Amino acid sequence: MKFLNFGNKKNTSVIGVDIGASSIKVVQLKKRRGVAVLETYGELSLGPYMNLEVGQATSPPAPKLAEALKDLLKEANVTTQKAGVSIPFSSSLISVVKMPVLKDKNLASMIPIEARKYIPVPISEVTLDWFIIPNEDKSLPLDDEDKEDKKKTETKKETSGKKIDVLVVAIHNSTLTKYNEIVKAVQLNVGFFEIEIFSAIRAIVGRSITPTMVLDMGAGNTKLYIVEYGVVKTSHVINSGSQDITQTISKSLGVSVSKAEQLKRKFGIEDGQSDDTIINSKEAIVLGLNRVFSEANRVILQYQQKYGKNVGNAVLTGGGATVKGLLPIAKKHLEIDVSISDPFSKIEAPAFFEKVLKEVGPGFAVAIGLALRRLQEDT
């Protein structure tokens, strides 16, 4: 459980709410002189609400999640109801679809028809959203003159036979129903629901032209996606997360899950430890990470073969990225430039909390990305 708050709050504040597999995280921001300012943040483990250990992944029903979120908002001294809320990647379907160049209204009518080929459930069971992936030479926003030129030539393009890439996103209606029940119980004013990977990208990647791999190391699994020009080009789920590492430590050392979680968080895989228990814990963590990085290398190779481009760098994020000593291991396995995400660097906060925020930052990337979007839409 982590809570922190800074000073006065006003009604102009917004929050990002990240409901994860093992915990709920919240970040409250406000805008001051055009800059996003941190007001408070907090995290609350979900395990105890389901009679499980801290750090264990779980899937509580809506009433339990509402109870936990209400507790977190109170303990973190959240003072606003304006929110953006994340949707788990596992509850969504994302596909890149080839489509003819059409006007938006015509494209909108064709997307549901084409999406049936890529979505393995009835279209009636999901809510669809989509947007056009820009060409590399059109990746930056168009100014007014460019937009006018584009409008004049739209009809010609429509008959040119060219294809465009469209990112189609589907969210299960049952998930939206569940999350609406949660936020209604907590009385939040939710401006949007957003799939967690898009929130994380906003907080840690931006619109880099270099293909970037993001490894979001959660409790239940690891989400891997390659981003180019701010757009997800490839996504993949690795069925191994930080709780699996904890369980490996627990079994190999013969200690409780709670003790194993403590060892992982306190010591990680940093060198220089002489205690046998800590050394064995480190070996168990490395063993758990080997599978994640091996799978990540396979996805990188597939991407390079498909698009003829090299992945330039990787960013590690999520709660699992806070393990001490992780970076050297990741660099050794991935053999590309690797960094740990630092989403709090995008917002203003007291300087004396910089070290703490940098350490916990990877776990709050989604919540920060949500709050940044809500702040932008609200001002």
Q: Is the pLDDT of residue 93 over 90?
A: no
* pLDDT score for 304: 92
Hey, is 17 helix, strand or coil? strand
CATH number of 91-171: 3.30.1490.300
Comparison of pLDDT for 145 and 102, the residue scoring more: 102
* pLDDT score for 139: 40
* pLDDT score for 4: 55
Q: Is the pLDDT of residue 101 over 90?
A: no
* pLDDT score for 160: 52
* pLDDT score for 155: 46
Q: Is the pLDDT of residue 30 over 60?
A: yes
pLDDT, the chain, mean: 84
As a whole number of angstroms, the distance between CA 143 and CA 49 comes to 51
Q: Is the pLDDT of residue 71 over 60?
A: yes
The DSSP call for residue 169 is: E
Q: What are the respective helix, strand and coil percentages of the chain, to the nearest 5?
A: 45, 25, 25
* pLDDT score for 161: 61
Tally Cβ neighbours within 10 Å of residue 16. Answer: 29
As a whole number of angstroms, the distance between CA 217 and CA 234 comes to 17
What is the domain class of 235-337 according to CATH? alpha beta
* pLDDT score for 138: 40
As a whole number of angstroms, the distance between CA 69 and CA 48 comes to 13
* pLDDT score for 164: 84
Extents of the domains making up the chain: 2-81+342-378, 91-171, 235-337
Q: Is the pLDDT of residue 42 over 90?
A: yes
The pLDDT tens digits for 251-302 are 877 888 888 888 777 777 765 555 666 666 777 778 778 889 999 999 999 9
Range with the poorest average pLDDT among 71-80, 200-209, 244-253, 268-277? 268-277
As a whole number of angstroms, the distance between CA 311 and CA 225 comes to 11
Q: What b-and-e string marks burial along 116-145, b requiring 16 or more CB atoms within 10 Å of the CB?
A: eeebeeeeeebeeebeebbeeeeeeeeeee
Q: Is the pLDDT of residue 148 over 60?
A: no
* pLDDT score for 146: 45
- Return the CATH fold of 2-81+342-378: Nucleotidyltransferase; domain 5 (3.30.420)
Q: Is the pLDDT of residue 219 over 80?
A: yes
* pLDDT score for 145: 47
Would you say 374 and 63 are in contact if contact means Cβ atoms under 8 Å apart?
no
Q: Is the pLDDT of residue 177 over 60?
A: yes
What's the one-letter identity of residue 321? A
As a whole number of angstroms, the distance between CA 40 and CA 371 comes to 12
Stretch 20-41: mean pLDDT, rounded? 94
Comparison of pLDDT for 119 and 370, the residue scoring more: 370
* pLDDT score for 106: 83
Range with the poorest average pLDDT among 11-15, 329-333, 352-356? 11-15
* pLDDT score for 348: 94
* pLDDT score for 159: 45
In this prediction, residue 234 has a pLDDT band, given cuts at 50, 70 and 90, of confident
Q: Is the pLDDT of residue 339 over 80?
A: yes
Q: Is the pLDDT of residue 58 over 50?
A: yes
- Note whether 2-81+342-378 and 235-337 share their fold: yes
As a whole number of angstroms, the distance between CA 30 and CA 23 comes to 24
Would you say 66 and 181 are in contact if contact means Cβ atoms under 8 Å apart?
yes
Q: Is the pLDDT of residue 224 over 80?
A: yes
Range with the poorest average pLDDT among 34-48, 154-168, 294-308, 335-349? 154-168
Stretch 71-88: mean pLDDT, rounded? 96
